[in-house]
């Protein structure tokens, strides 16, 4: 065998290997790409200052701006309120829109121990609905006398 004849084959193998490595690197970068927030994405905000429209001031803000604000306060125990554009107080918080009645409210407004996404106006909660589907037959106290029932709703 002549060594000179093997050379082009070796080069060919090296080229293929480099190509594969580049392809894998490219694919890898694509896989770990963080979720990009669309430029026009918005988040509902609600001012909870009772002196500001009775605590019912709602507005939309750019989601990227809001995420940047959250990142600034990531070391804090709780994210402080944003400056409300209407009253100028740091009392605006991320809110959600009720899919049933369109009411805009801050998560957890219905009180502690309740579903945070329960609408304080029409009492609809998407989480409660989802939970109800998981448990088609709710355990009732009358039907299960042998097992102790822990009532968490009190």
What are the residues binding Zn ion (CB under 5 A)? 47, 49, 52, 57, 84, 86-87, 98, 100-101, 103, 119, 121-122, 124
For Zn ion, which is the closer residue by CB, 56 or 70?
A: 56
Task: Tell me what percent of the chain is helix, strand and coil, each rounded to the nearest 5.
Answer: 35, 15, 55
Strand, helix or coil for residue 62: strand
For Zn ion, which is the closer residue by CB, 64 or 97?
A: 97
Q: Running DSSP on this structure, what letter comes out for residue 67?
A: H
For the bound state, the minimum distance from the C-beta of residue 153 to Zn ion, rounded and expressed in Å, comes to: 21
CA angle (120, 121, 126) in 5-degree steps: 65
Q: How far apart are CA 122 and CA 100, in angstroms?
A: 8
For Zn ion, which is the closer residue by CB, 64 or 121?
A: 121
For the bound state, the minimum distance from the C-beta of residue 108 to Zn ion, rounded and expressed in Å, comes to: 15
For Zn ion, which is the closer residue by CB, 20 or 107?
A: 107
For the bound state, the minimum distance from the C-beta of residue 140 to Zn ion, rounded and expressed in Å, comes to: 28
Map tokens 């009775």 to a residue.
Answer: 54
């Amino acid at each position: 065998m002549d060594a000179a004849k093997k050379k082009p084959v070796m080069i060919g193998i090296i080229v293929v290997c480099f190509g594969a490595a580049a392809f894998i690197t490219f694919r890898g970068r694509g896989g770990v790409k963080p979720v990009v927030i669309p430029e026009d994405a918005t988040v509902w905000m609600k001012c909870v200052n009772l002196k500001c429209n009775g605590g019912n001031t709602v507005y939309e803000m750019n989601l990227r701006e809001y995420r940047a604000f959250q990142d600034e306060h990531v070391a804090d125990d709780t994210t402080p309120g944003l400056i409300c554009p209407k009253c100028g107080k740091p009392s605006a918080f991320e809110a959600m829109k009720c899919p049933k009645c369109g009411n805009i409210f801050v998560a957890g407004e219905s009180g502690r121990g309740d579903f945070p996404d329960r609408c304080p106006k029409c009492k609809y909660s998407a989480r409660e609905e989802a939970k109800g589907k998981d448990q088609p037959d709710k355990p009732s106290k009358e039907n299960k006398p042998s097992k102790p029932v822990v009532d968490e709703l009190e």
